[in-house]
């Protein structure tokens, strides 16, 4: 493995309800711990029912995202994928709308996010309360 490539995983407890978890601090801590300066940070959730989003949080946008997903992907028994709780099939469609990854520029050791942007784990799967997220830096 190249010394310019570093990777780690973090465990994220999301609980038994739909949630949006801010990972920005975890990402920044990882970059700091490896002395990252310039490059790319990839954030990847290796689960079939979760995604990574880069949006504003704290002003209601995170709840708006969950509401929009509920409108687009209702938690009903209409889904062909039918195991787990009612409507779990929608959770398997989520990554088509909220990708399971994001690649972000790192400049001067920090993620080059916009003023109000945060890196978020989006998890609508109430059947799986624990997630793993892989952070990989290429510099």
Per-residue pLDDT tens listing for the chain (139 residues)? 456 899 999 999 999 999 999 999 999 999 999 999 999 999 999 999 999 999 998 889 999 999 999 999 999 888 888 787 888 889 999 999 999 999 999 999 999 999 999 999 999 998 999 999 999 999 9
Locate 127 and state its tokens.
């059947």
Rounded to two decimals, the pTM is 0.93
Q: Which string of DSSP letters, residue by residue, matches 42-104?
A: EEE---TTEEEEEEE-SSSHHHHHHHHHHHHS-SSTT-S---SSTTHHHHHHHHHHS-SEEEE
CATH number reported for the structural domain that contains residue 17 in this entry: 2.60.120.460
| Cα–Cα–Cα angle for 56, 14, 68, rounded to 5 degrees | 45
Query: Mutual orientation of helices 61-72 and 88-97 as an angle, nearest 10°?
Result: 120
Half-sphere exposure of 126 (CA within 13 A, CB side): 12
Locate 70 and state its tokens.
């509920």
| Cα–Cα–Cα angle for 128, 101, 6, rounded to 5 degrees | 105
The boundaries of the domain holding residue 72 are 5-138
| 40 within 8 A of 106, measured Cβ to Cβ | yes
**In Å, how far from its chain's centre is CA 73?**
18
Number of domains the chain is built from: 1
């Amino acid at each position: 493995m190249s010394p310019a490539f570093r990777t780690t995983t973090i465990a994220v407890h999301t609980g038994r309800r739909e949630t949006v978890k801010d990972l920005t601090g975890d990402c920044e801590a990882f970059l700091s711990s490896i002395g990252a300066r310039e490059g790319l940070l990839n954030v990847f959730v290796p689960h079939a029912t979760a995604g990574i989003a880069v949006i504003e949080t704290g002003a209601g946008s995170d709840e708006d995202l969950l509401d929009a997903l509920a409108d687009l992907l209702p938690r009903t028994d209409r889904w062909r994928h039918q195991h787990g709780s009612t409507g779990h099939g929608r959770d398997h469609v989520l990554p088509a709308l909220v990708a399971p990854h994001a690649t972000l520029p790192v400049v001067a050791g920090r993620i080059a996010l916009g003023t109000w942007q945060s890196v978020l784990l989006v998890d609508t799967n109430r059947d799986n309360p624990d997630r793993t997220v892989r952070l990989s830096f290429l510099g």
